[in-house]
Amino acid sequence: MAQHALHFLTATELAGLYRSGHVSPVAVTEAYLERIHRYQPDTNAFITVTADRARAGAEAAELAFRSGNDVGPLHGVPIALKDLCDTAGIRTTSGALARKDDVPATSSTVAKRLSRAGTVLLGKTNLVEYAFGPFGVNPHFGTPPNPWDPERVPGGSSSGSGLAVAAGLAAAAIGTDTGGSVRIPAAYCGVVGLKTTTGRIGTRGVTPLSWTLDTVGPMARCVEDVALMYVAIAGAEAGDATALDLPVGDVMGVLKKDVAGLRLAVVREPFFSGADPEVASLVEDAIQVLAGLGAHVGEMAFPEAVQAEREEDNLRLLRTEAVAVHREALTEAPDTFGSDVRARLQVEPGLLAVDLAEIQRKRAEMMRTTAARLADVEAVVGPTMLSPAPRLRDLDRGEPHRLLTRLVNWLGLCAVSVPCGFTSQGLPVGLQLTGKPYDEATMLRLAYAYEQATEWRASHPHGYLP
């Protein structure tokens, strides 16, 4: 197999090649490290590259295969972690100047689980400072470019993870999602990203942004790889109270089942309102593909989502919890924060404990009514983002953008973003499938069916990243 082809093989393909002996984990890891060395100066995809550790992990995996000690389908697969996840002995910067030299003594739950699965850690990926921003801008470690157009942003906050996966700098990666931070870069970079339900994956050892809304999720170039990553990291973990003891289910067993009879709801307001015409057209085409596969498609009103966007209580809660996380640093070293993030950490004057209690009460009520509204459908389907990735120079960072992804976190749901085509300018568009709490398996099943019925999964960035 040609060396240059290794970096775009899926984890699923690598699993088969490893076990047949046609490709070795060492060769694949070296191919990735060479590519990272070549493109890191131009991409800033990584904050820390763990080359020595990756080589050692690949050698251990190769020895394990020879000895018959296969630990599972991700064994020997090179992956990357968002630099928000603690890794024992390897710095975790959280994308922040103040933490550029922080080296944790213990690893996060997600890092431990992936290590047990036999993955090879290539490094820690770039992100928005403290994961607080939707576009991927970082004044301290550099802003990664969009892999399809270097003048555009990759999306955030998991910018480096989205870029690394799309550009063939990692087979898969971990992101976090508090208001869209897995799904936004997935849509902008043309990869698959899963926003899990709160508590499905433990967040111990992951720098918090909002305790209420934070989630961890995988990103990869195909749905099956995302499913494999999800299975590896989901579920209860000893010593991590944030990981709920709920059955994950037979995710891989249902992944490839047909979707005939599954019920999909198209919600025009707010999920299509103001969408770029090309984005809307591509998403409508994707919905017709799912209908052609036998899914039942109908329109539905979703007043809870409309109300949530209008009132912006989710932003008030997020900002207040973020200030609580960073209160000491904001007081003692405000100049270590980038201007964008420092501005986002300004809480509105007069926001009292009673206000927060009312916000949480309203959220709980919305979650209850949402559960009833979604009882008769498997998924809500629409665009992940209303427009393709903007140019970095066009960003007006002082003005809020419509980020409907955040409504999924606010309402306690799960969602997956899967590529559904390209605009006339060659920019990726994401289809978002949103489901009931803890029904990640059905979202992945729908995404897989759509992916297999189309050819978008075979598309890779061209031009400046050959």
Q: pLDDT digit string (tens) for 300-355?
A: 999 999 999 998 899 999 999 999 999 999 989 999 999 999 988 887 666 778 99
**Bond into 157 cis (ω within 30):** yes
Q: Copy the structure tokens of residue 267.
A: 């919600």
| pLDDT at 5 (0 to 100) | 83
Catalytic pick among 94, 157, 158, 210: 157
| pLDDT at 251 (0 to 100) | 98
The 10 Å Cβ neighbour count of residue 71 is 14
Q: Which helix (H) or strand (E) holds 186?
A: helix 183-189
- Spatial separation of the C-alpha atoms in residues 28 and 252, rounded to whole Å: 25
| pLDDT at 463 (0 to 100) | 65
With 0-12 / 13-18 / 19 or more C-beta atoms within 10 angstroms meaning exposed / middle / buried, residue 284 is middle
With 0-12 / 13-18 / 19 or more C-beta atoms within 10 angstroms meaning exposed / middle / buried, residue 365 is exposed
Please give the angle made by the CA atoms of 445, 451 and 452, to the nearest 5 degrees.
90
The conformation of residue 33, written as its DSSP 8-state character, comes to H
- Spatial separation of the C-alpha atoms in residues 108 and 329, rounded to whole Å: 22
The CATH superfamily label for domain 3-458 reads Amidase signature (AS) domain (3.90.1300.10)
Known catalytic membership, residue 181: yes
Catalytic pick among 24, 82, 161, 436: 82
Known catalytic membership, residue 459: no
- Name the stretches of the chain with pLDDT < 70: 1-4, 348-350, 396-401, 463-464, 466
Taking the domains of the chain in order of start, what are their residue ranges?
3-458
Catalytic pick among 181, 210, 387, 417: 181
- Spatial separation of the C-alpha atoms in residues 398 and 337, rounded to whole Å: 16
